Structure 1
């Protein structure tokens, strides 16, 4: 069996094994027949194209066409010409079937049935994996790159299933990947040459590698066994909010959330894959409530944090808590709440509904007078149950509008760093230019943040420093940390005392006045001070995350009829008539979580296609990085080779950034041109001049000395060039980097030269061949 056939078959079998984990998502395995035939067609097409010496890119295009044709036969054979040729009616059928499939998987959870509308996603995804594996193994002979596509189906299945998969589903793609590596390297070792032999017929070189193959199989088996067994027995580090300062808490089982200053890790908690339960609470009013954990009332220009808070022994919660600062309301209603903290949540701060007045809890817990936060220096809330009584403060827009000037006791909560960025000041003044009074200014800020100009995005860089706020105001994308922190900063600039509260949105209603709060309900919001009312929560985070804005944070409107009937079309909230009906959540705290019965899992087929697409998109940039790494590895410690590697890296980064690179110019000329084009100054200009000098000495000096830190300095300079480019140019460099373009161009030239040599040799053979009569 030839080497080409062997690698093609290994790649096909490996692909077939790698897609088997998708069986966990379906209620039947019948789709494997169509998928296997698709894999066979794609592998055969790839092998034939290589035999015909077609360019790699053309091979991939033909394979995509074959996959499309096969899917067309599955769903539109009745419309095909002669029963198998595509017709003009195929596109309409494709659109209809893919649309039906999207609708079906959007409303179905696994395991899912497999009509044609879903079959196209399964076979299409498996076919794309087969194309990438055939490309890396058969065409490029880079089996190590096949690990990404071979592992994609397992990764997608594990993500969709949430709780993990059986170990056997991991063994299949892992074994497939090791088979690819062993087959490729066995052929590579055999290519080193044949050993001398006294036999008339030398042994097949592959037979000489049998001992190595046996050793490789043993090592591979041990590696897979270790990968399965070790995670089950090794201790797991806590995956919490914060692993830094403060009291300890249990190391847990890897699911535990820890929190000392939770805003520092809000993003990690909101994006963690396991949305673990945090707490349950039962409220006497059956209404949703924001759960506040800690108040951040100090901003130093870098981060919102807690101020210094003395909590002497006389401030234990056993005797009750003081009235909330600034509130002057007679006999507000009370809400009794019972909390049950799960074993997944570790904190020295006590989750509460503000403002709490009474707390029944075991241990030494103490309150802060200014914020009514409750903290313990010895105890942990992990697995605790406690009961609290909080005030139901009657908030009303007219009351807030008529509030007096803030008391001097809270004046320090308007303090800001001396050098506040100009853009923050300009936006705050512009947004509130038509507002009169603190309430109107706060309303204007909230409406601006919740408007269409801003987008809720968890992929935003974490942080609330002044520089991060500037980036947030420029990009208009962020999550609750940026929205809350920025509104609080602007409110302080406008003279309104402000702070940031961190905790959780109300969670999911479970019935019997009970609510479940989970990790993804983590949230932050600003609190603004109004004399006579005290600290009032606001909600600048867009409705996509939080639902309707609190009614007391909107401008006063004409009161509706109060005759006891709810006007038609009103958004008024009604109490549940039975436990099957959920309390209305379109109020403060209405939007953080799905209600029971809603499908919160991503449709598995969409995730599969998206996962494969992400892998394919990431491949070019990884190949370019591998090319740079190999370049430096080959250079070793040779000064001339290192200078050449650095110059090549700079050339690629320059063209990635969109600047000209003249290969015919001297290094000094290239350096001057690049410095002027990219506007390099200071350290960056020094690094460029240093690199130019190194290259000149490597090319023209008689002796060469090893240059230290050359690779690191080059990487810094290249990163500066790439970051100086616009977004479009950076995206192009990521999807189709210069290093890969150069490699493809060089490969095409080599293939062209090889075909020319082959054609010349063939012509000579025909010319020299004797004529037959």
Structure 2
């Protein structure tokens, strides 16, 4: 029965590791109930002496009844007994829970379906642990299913497992191993508790107590606790290791997120999961030197397989690290369009999980960011195989082209020099889609004109509507979206326009990231509802340009905007220049004559740097300063034992000064009180003796437990050859201590401060300089106290282990 209870405790402590995955606490109580149901079933199995194979079946039945009562009682008979309706209800909740997990990002809202999945999963782990530990007597092997609970948050979340939760889970597993050990010892006879207080003691009947095995008893616990401490502290203390510089590295589809590969989440699934969150959460904030909203791209999807767009594995060579200077040149960008240099400061929220790509305006030219971040040459996506973006703050300099419709028209004869994958389409693409693309772009005089017609088809002419509930991918879904339903969300609009652009010969890809958000204070705030997808089309001489096919009338992201260059030109025949629309940049001649009137010096400084396409100088603390602060903090930590020793010593000195009684010859004695009484002398004599004991321990001169004060004084005097003054001082201290401890009336005792100082100096003269320095900086007496505290905690676990349910005498007699 002990093993069954220990198994339940181990499973529940391991389940605590799941807390970062959920928003509320309903999963906690549901999981606790599931574990208790399994424990009760295990106790019943043991009580009835059922075979080992029957225990899992009884536990499964108990779990089924518990889940029925908790989640489907309205469909059960008498609220408890499962029925066909309750089974159907549980199946429905399981399906809903599985769908919710697929579309929500952690931490997920605690719905009934998700709670049912969690409680059921924890119950299955509890059944497995009970089978291995309590039935098959393989407690160590039971750690594998417990490890499965720990791997769930480790694989889903970017943050490491919380060390308090890890310690609690580890203690639960150690408790299971201890219970198994005690069960095995119990088969050989009655277990005997041996404490340090019973060392070499006699029992009441005169027989000797068992041999002292306290060292053996504590060794297992010490190993367990030391392993937990090392598992928590060593990873935090070890520095991060850089990959070997002569290896290039990229992104693999099945990587662990560390080392030389990284797992790429499904960008489309993440996009819809964020759009369907029940409440808006802040993802990031940003500011820039022109105070304009910008799309922030995370992923660039370039391959269409007939089902959906996917991403080619990005490559980041060591020379493409962001701290090595400017990023690679943007593909296809020349000096023909006007270039606008902008500096953007981005702050990522701490709640973002599993994001190894930086949200960036396109095209980035230089980035200042902490960590090993590298740029993909083809797409300029910036990613890391070692670091996460959560809580990160960075600055990015962009050189954004500002093309005009006339410039884009003039580029029609330029042959696009891009990879063929940006024009590739599957062979089984429905011919109706190709016919639609040809019909929409009919009459287009240039490639740019065809792109504008495609965008207008989705936003105005085609009768499309925004609907987040639309499901499905693939050729049939694409055909239904374009030809029949014409309702979807941003990913479907972006993918459909990219496919149709390829059909008319325009290289295209799909970007996933965030729209510009909304202005709050002096920064732009981007939330989960700003998740967005848009197509990027390629024009030789300008490079990749974003388009916006999602209808603005019913758009889910209110901050989405149509680029000014993609707006159809008014049908005017005059040769005059049209007035720039909202969002177009103005020439320097259009700027106010006195820009200082509206910008401060810091802003002008940043714009001057941006004019060259670079970032302003880093005004943060230099590396030498950071190293100095780190060394100072380390020094303070190392001095903690010395400070504790100094505080204890000063407290004793104050005790000597405040409690020392006057000699017997002093007339100033309080009425009715004689000098030398025990209540006067005990505190300060005890302080002298405690200080002498610490001095001896710090200098490696440990006092034996069997030594009397007089014997100690005699040994020190002979062993270290004290001079006459030092010998007299140690003898005076020993005599005072013995009189206080053993004499009925200690009589007058002179102050011992000078004697203690004399003895300390004599002892210090007998040891090496290194020992004296250690006694000051890292005093062993302080470390001994810490060790005693730890041993006291271990003794507390002994008390918990030996709690027994005993029958009363009345029950024994009945």
Note whether the superposition's TM-score is higher than 0.5. no
Q: Which of the two has higher C-alpha Rg?
A: 2
Query: TM-score w.r.t. structure 2 length?
Result: 0.38
Query: TM-score w.r.t. structure 1 length?
Result: 0.40
Q: Which has the higher contact order (CA 8 A, sep 6+)?
A: 1
